[in-house]
Structures are given as C-alpha cells and as structure tokens.
Amino acid sequence: MNDGLGAVCDGFSISSRLFVKLEMAPERDTVLGFFDRIRKEFPTLTKLRLRDGGTLVIEEDRAEDESRRWLRLDPSSLRFGHYGPPDIDAVRRFGEVVLTQAPYYLTFSDIDFDHLELTYGFELEYQGNHDQLVAETILGEHAGMGFLFGDHAHSVIDAQPYFGVSLTPECDLQAYVEVKSRTNTFEVRSGSYELQPISVFLTVRRYWSVEPPPTLTDVLSTLFDHADELAAEKVVPLFVNPLAAAIASRP
C-alpha cells in the first residue's frame, strides 16, 4: 500500500463501481434505510440529491476541493468514492461498509453482478495544450509520432492514450490506464488556455464468471491490492511522474 499517492499530483481520488445486469428499482424506504445504515458509520454523509434519470447521491457537504466521501445509486450501478482521502485504508473501510450492507438493502445477488471496478485518479494541473504535452511526454518514440508531429500537422488536438491488460489467463481480472486531456480547439486557436487538470486514471476491474465467486468485499480487497501495486510500480513512474516533470519544465 502507498499512502503517499496524493503527494505526487495536484488532486487524488479513489472511486468504485459495481455494475449489475438488471436495473435496480428499490423502494423509497429501502433506499433511505440503506443510506441511514451507511450514515451510522459515516455520519458526515448528510447531503442528499436527486439527479436526472433517477440517480441518487449522498455525500459529505464540503467544498469541491476538500476531502469528501460520496455514494451514488444509478439504475444499473452502485458507485462510491472519496476525493482527497487521508489514506487508502480510509477508502478501503468505506468500501467494505458499503458493499457489506448493499446486498441486504438492495437485494443484490451474485447472479446479477457483471463486474466491480476500482479507479485511482491522479490530477495534474497544466495551463497549456494538454494534448501536445501528453503526446510529447507519453508517446515518445511511438510510430504514431510521425502523424502527430509531421510537417502537415500544425497542432496536436487529441492525444488521450488508453491501454488495457489482462491480469489473468481467463481475462476476468483486468487493468486499464487512461490519460485524459481537457484542452479544446478554441484554446488552441486563440492561444489562451485555462488552468485545468490532466487526469491519469488507473482502473482495475473484476468480472464475475460461472465459478463460485468470492464476496463483494473480498473482490474489492483484491482490487485494492492490485491497484496499490500497479500505481506504485507502473502508473506513477511511467505516467504521473513524467507528466509532472514535463509540466514543471514549462514556463
């Protein structure tokens, strides 16, 4: 485990999503009972909102840039996360409580589970052409550089690498890295850029198969173990640190 992941970037978050095959339609009392049970463990979850499409969100009532937990119910998924967590153990405990209680209140069954995923998000603020920076830093000697930086090309306007690997022969355990830029063509045309984050997302995903599955909390623990290792050994040194160094070298 690496509790210092937030120190290598301007913003760090952890989120998780459980996708189900059949849409959920819990009753009002069931949802409120579920939220109240989670609030017994985390009483600062006080802000309840109803979004478009029937999505329900309960979260800590704090500023956007402050550490805060959130829990979300969509028709086809249960989501939860923590922006700016004090350490990874705090998010592990939050996830364990949510996934321990959810089957009882929301009538979850392993036959209905599609996959559970865990995402570590790293944000690096940069006021400039995100796509140009990402292409120069991450793609390096890639064969596609001849297209991105050839004589025909005036500016790079889209460079968002997305990679995926299987961690098992059965492909039921997978890991993905995505680099997301936020520069738009108006900024490129005008040469005036807003200060916005480049995001690096590490997602570890576990699919359910015909074999007797482990519990939700066991799967989440496994995902955390893999994410901690991949973040420390691969994603931070190969993606986050090079981007941070490239940003620091810009005027």
Say what the pLDDT of residue 52 is.
82
* Rounded CA separation 10/156 (Å): 24
> What's the average model confidence in pLDDT over 137-165?
87
Confidence of residue 23 (pLDDT cuts 50, 70, 90): confident
- Quick check: helix, strand or coil at residue 237? helix
* Rounded CA separation 78/101 (Å): 12
pLDDT tens digits for range 211-247: 666 889 999 999 999 999 999 999 999 999 999 999 9
Give residue 98's region: left, alpha or beta (phi > 0; psi -120 to 50): alpha
What residues form DSSP beta bridges with 56?
50, 73
Virtual torsion, Cα 203, 207, 213, 216, nearest 10 deg: 40
2 pLDDT above the threshold of 60? no
Confidence of residue 123 (pLDDT cuts 50, 70, 90): very high
Yes or no: say if 103 and 118 are a contact pair by the CB < 8 Å rule.
no
Say what the pLDDT of residue 1 is.
37
User: What percent of the chain clears pLDDT 70, i.e. is strictly above it?
Assistant: 97
List the chain domain ranges: 5-249
pLDDT tens digits for range 44-59: 999 999 888 778 999 9
Confidence of residue 64 (pLDDT cuts 50, 70, 90): confident
24 pLDDT above the threshold of 90? no
* Rounded CA separation 158/108 (Å): 40
Confidence of residue 151 (pLDDT cuts 50, 70, 90): confident
Confidence of residue 141 (pLDDT cuts 50, 70, 90): confident
Confidence of residue 110 (pLDDT cuts 50, 70, 90): confident
What size, in residues, is the chain?
251
> What's the average model confidence in pLDDT over 117-132?
97
